[in-house]
Chains A and B, each alone.
Chain A
Amino acid sequence: EIVLTQSPGTLSLSPGERATLSCRASQSVSSDYLAWYQQKPGQAPRVLIYGASSRATGIPDRFSGSGSGTDFTLTITRLEPEDFAVYYCQQYGSSPLTFGGGTKVEIK
């Protein structure tokens, strides 16, 4: 099983600042089958990035994904008020599919 470790657990930032979220895998993620999600309370997750770096339809370009193998990063260049939420990474290249534990981006 591929274990995904997200860091930090909580990120306290102000609107307009840059957010850098990390997702580290216990073994290489096959063909970079890695996705990033945003989730707000009471809502289903919303996909931001798939294939490690491809932005999903309708996602603003302030969101970007990078990395390969075992180290992946989600970057939000300038935080908007609506970006404060919990973010999860997911690998879907091997079974069992797994999610990271999440990073909460909160308003400082």
Chain B
Amino acid sequence: EVQLLESGGGLVQPGGSLRLSCAASGFTFSSYAMSWVRQAPGKGLEWVSAISGSGGSTYHADSVKGRFTISRNNSKNTLYLQMSSLRADDTAVYYCAKGGLTSGWGEGFWGQGTLVTVSS
């Protein structure tokens, strides 16, 4: 059974940093691209970042470019999102999802989400 379990969310002050993790199981993690998608309270879905299976290619939305970094450790079956220079508009539930550029979304594997709140 495929499982994606996010952790690392919480309350952080503006300008602060946070690292999200997503522990994957039930599939050959290194073979699949992965993404982070966020949803601000009461708003729609926003794709944040994606990474190829090997980790050699990464993609970020313009809204987070230069502040967020996606990475993965295939030996630990874990996806990460390092977030820095956080702003109030980064407040959202962050989901990890199995899918990337041109692939993977049809299987529909998403985590349950972790809430990041940026506030003083």
Closest to B106 in A: A50
A55 to B113 alpha-carbon distance, docked (Å): 24
Question: Which of A51, A88, A93 lies in contact with B44, CB distance below 8 A?
Answer: A88
Q: Is the CB of A99 within 8 A of B47?
A: yes
Interface residue tally on A, bucketed by range:
20 to 34
Known: A44-B95, A45-B110, A96-B59. A90 touches B105 (CB 8 A): yes
Interface residue tally on B, bucketed by range:
20 to 34
A100 to B44 alpha-carbon distance, docked (Å): 8
Interface string of A23-37 (1 = CB under 8 A from B): 000000011010101
Q: Which residues of A contact B111 (CB under 8 A)?
A: 44
A94 to B61 alpha-carbon distance, docked (Å): 12
Q: Is the CB of B106 within 8 A of A44?
A: no
B63 CB → nearest A CB, Å: 9
Q: Is the CB of A94 within 8 A of B106?
A: no
Q: Which residues of B contact A37 (CB under 8 A)?
A: 45
Q: Is the CB of B108 within 8 A of A92?
A: no
Closest to A51 in B: B106
Is B46 at the interface (CB under 8 A from chain A)? yes
A63 to B110 alpha-carbon distance, docked (Å): 20
A73 to B45 alpha-carbon distance, docked (Å): 19
Is B82 at the interface (CB under 8 A from chain A)? no
Interface string of B99-120 (1 = CB under 8 A from A): 1111101111011110000000
Closest to A46 in B: B108
A88 to B99 alpha-carbon distance, docked (Å): 16
Interface string of B69-105 (1 = CB under 8 A from A): 0000000000000000000000000010001111101
B93 CB → nearest A CB, Å: 9
A56 CB → nearest B CB, Å: 5
Q: Is the CB of B44 within 8 A of A56?
A: no
Q: Which of A39, A90, A95 has the most chain B CB atoms closer than 10 A to its own CB? A: A95
Known: A44-B110, A47-B106. A95 touches B101 (CB 8 A): yes
Known: A44-B113, A96-B47, A101-B44. A54 touches B106 (CB 8 A): yes
Interface of chain A residues 4 through 49 with chain B (CB within 8 A): 30-31, 33, 35, 37, 39, 44-47
